[in-house]
Amino acid sequence: MNIKNKIVAFGGLLLFLSCATNPFTGKQTMAMVSNDQLFPSSFQQYNQVLSESKVVKGTAEAEMIKRVGERIATASERWLNALGYQGYLKDYRWEYNLIQSEVANAWCMPGGKIAFYTGILPIAENETAIAAIMGHEVAHALANHGQQRMSASMLQQIGAVGLNVALQDDENIGLYNQAYGIGTTVGGMLPFSRSHEEEADKIGLYIMAIAGYNPDEASRLWVRMGSSGGQSPPEILSTHPSTDSRIANLKALAPKAKAEAQKFGVTSYRPITKF
């Protein structure tokens, strides 16, 4: 077996041996980096972000972020237990913080470390929209999207090494590498990321509904997101679905999220009032 084939075979073996199951879809996903490795690094990075930021404490908004976060975490555990994944969150270390910043963003690191920036509050307008954002970000962590993206990046690097060995063309190797990078990014990594966003939208919608928040508000949130300014790239070159696609998907999924929430005894939702 030549070197090229060995590299390809090694990558295939790694992929075969490094799989996990997505609890929400039942599909096998890449897991070349274990959560045992990922979580400690995630917790360390989160603490570093907090140490370098102005963390808002004791305000009504900060308490709301914590309150919503706790409800989303509880709903997540209830749903996972119902799906047969008891103990799935045993290594999570939930934490919810509001950070003073004009950036309109929020995120959840692998292992349950959550941050909201004050810049997203005016767009959210209400607690239910905060739950929609929280559900989406938590969904990324629950579905191990960070783990999958790291695994995909590792495979991409293995592929690049194999290409260099196969070509053995020092004069044009830079051009080949550039073409390979563009091809795998547009054809592989970006659609992979978009699929994660769509999956997180669905999972997050179900979680917020189980937590007692009206999932109809999620599409309205994205209408506000779309009108908040900024130029989006074409959908094919974006890691996120277009705003119009996202709004349509969320509207279509909302009745299904309500039906799922009914299985947990949720038949009415918290009122939607501006904060």
Per-residue tokens: 5: 């084939």
Beta-ladder partners of 106: 116
Reduced to 3 states, what is the DSSP secondary structure of residue 73? helix
Residue bearing tokens 């094919």:
236
The C-alpha angle with vertex 25 and arms to 23 and 29, in degrees rounded to 5, equals 75
Structural domain includes residue 49: yes
DSSP H or E run through 30: strand 28-30
Burial code of 121-140, b = ≥16 C-beta within 10 A, e = fewer?
beebbbbbbbbbbbbbbbbb
238: domain range?
3-262
DSSP H or E run through 252: helix 243-262
Structural domain includes residue 144: yes
Structural domain includes residue 275: no
Q: What is the pLDDT of residue 26?
A: 76
Structural domain includes residue 24: yes
Structural domain includes residue 257: yes
φ/ψ (deg, to 5) at 83: -80, -5
Can you tell me the distance from the alpha carbon of 136 to that of 198, in angstroms, rounded to the nearest whole number?
A: 9
| Contact predicate 126/273, CB 8 Å | yes
Can you tell me the distance from the alpha carbon of 75 to that of 84, in angstroms, rounded to the nearest whole number?
A: 14
CA 46 to chain centroid, in Å, comes to: 16
Q: What is the pLDDT of residue 239?
A: 59
Structural domain includes residue 268: no
| Burial of 151 (C-beta count, 10 Å sphere; 0-12/13-18/19+) | buried
The structure's pTM equals: 0.77
Provide the strand spans (E) within 71-209: 95-99, 106-109, 113-117
- The maximal CA–CA distance of the chain, rounded, in angstroms, is 67
Can you tell me the distance from the alpha carbon of 165 to that of 162, in angstroms, rounded to the nearest whole number?
A: 5
Provide the strand spans (E) within the chain: 19-21, 28-30, 55-56, 95-99, 106-109, 113-117
| Contact predicate 199/135, CB 8 Å | no
Q: What is the pLDDT of residue 83?
A: 95
| Burial of 148 (C-beta count, 10 Å sphere; 0-12/13-18/19+) | buried
The total domain count for the chain is 1
Per-residue pLDDT of the chain (275 residues; tens, 9 = 90+): 554 444 444 444 444 445 677 788 777 766 566 778 788 888 999 999 999 999 999 999 999 999 999 999 999 999 999 999 999 999 999 999 999 999 999 999 889 999 999 999 999 999 999 999 999 999 988 988 665 566 555 555 544 444 344 445 455 445 434 433 344 444 443 444 667 888 999 999 999 999 999 999 999 999 998 887 655 545 444 556 688 889 999 999 999 999 999 999 999 999 998 98
**What is the dihedral angle through the alpha carbons of 201, 209, 225, 242, rounded to the nearest 10 degrees?**
20
Structural domain includes residue 269: no
Structural domain includes residue 267: no
